[in-house]
Amino acid sequence: MKPSPFPTIFSITEDEIDLNTLLDKITLTSTGAAAIFTGMVRGKTSRTGKAQGIKYAPHETTYLEYEAYKPMAEEKMLQVAKEIREKWGVVEGIAIVQRIGKLYPRTPTVLIACTASHRDTGVFEAARYGIDRLKEIVPVWKKEIMPDGEEWVEGEYIPTEK
């Protein structure tokens, strides 16, 4: 496969996620659209539901503590970016960043952004695919610290290939 001429930014970091800097790095002169997903720590969960295989009821979160297997996580982010490019050849720049460490409510924890020439190119779907895949294969875990205890959050996706 010949290397893509388009920028791919990926990192596991303890630093604050800087959207403007990332966006600048994935914006080309041909770029006219960016789809950005960012997730943040929820301080108050008000609905019952299921996330990453774990059933949850309404509760409060004091903070989340994220841990990563950094070298593998960065390799898997690169794999996610490669999969996005295979599915959406129109995507120009890709940025994937996971923040780790102790993160408090309202703090952005993850960001995925894809750029393209226009918004109707599939760029929204590409970013959606990126966050879904990150949550499946990038080795990062979080421990939830609540007012009355703490618990590791475990996902449910079992990879079937390298």
Partner 1 sequence: MNKINILFFATMRTRAKRSSLELEIKSDTNVAELKEIITAKIPALEASLHHTLVSINREYAFDEDIIPENAEIALFPPVSGG
Comparing CB distances to partner 1, the nearer of 120 and 154 is: 154
Comparing CB distances to partner 1, the nearer of 71 and 89 is: 71
**Nearest distance from C-beta of residue 19 to partner 1, angstroms:** 17
Comparing CB distances to partner 1, the nearer of 69 and 124 is: 69
**Nearest distance from C-beta of residue 9 to partner 1, angstroms:** 17
* Residues engaged in binding partner 1 (CB under 8 A): 39, 52-53, 66-69, 71-73, 75, 98, 109-110, 131, 134-143, 152-159, 161-162
**Nearest distance from C-beta of residue 96 to partner 1, angstroms:** 11
d(CA 117, CA 27) in angstroms, rounded, equals 10
Comparing CB distances to partner 1, the nearer of 15 and 24 is: 15
Comparing CB distances to partner 1, the nearer of 104 and 157 is: 157
d(CA 46, CA 21) in angstroms, rounded, equals 33
Q: What is the pairing mode between strands 94-99 and 8-13?
A: parallel
**Nearest distance from C-beta of residue 131 to partner 1, angstroms:** 7
Contacts of residues 47-54 at CB distance under 8 Å and 24 or more positions apart, as own/partner, are 52/135, 52/153, 52/154, 52/155, 52/156, 52/157, 53/154, 53/155, 53/156, 53/157, 54/153, 54/154, 54/156
**Nearest distance from C-beta of residue 150 to partner 1, angstroms:** 10
Q: How far is CA 65 from CA 62, 68, 86, 141, 146, in A?
A: 10, 10, 33, 8, 11
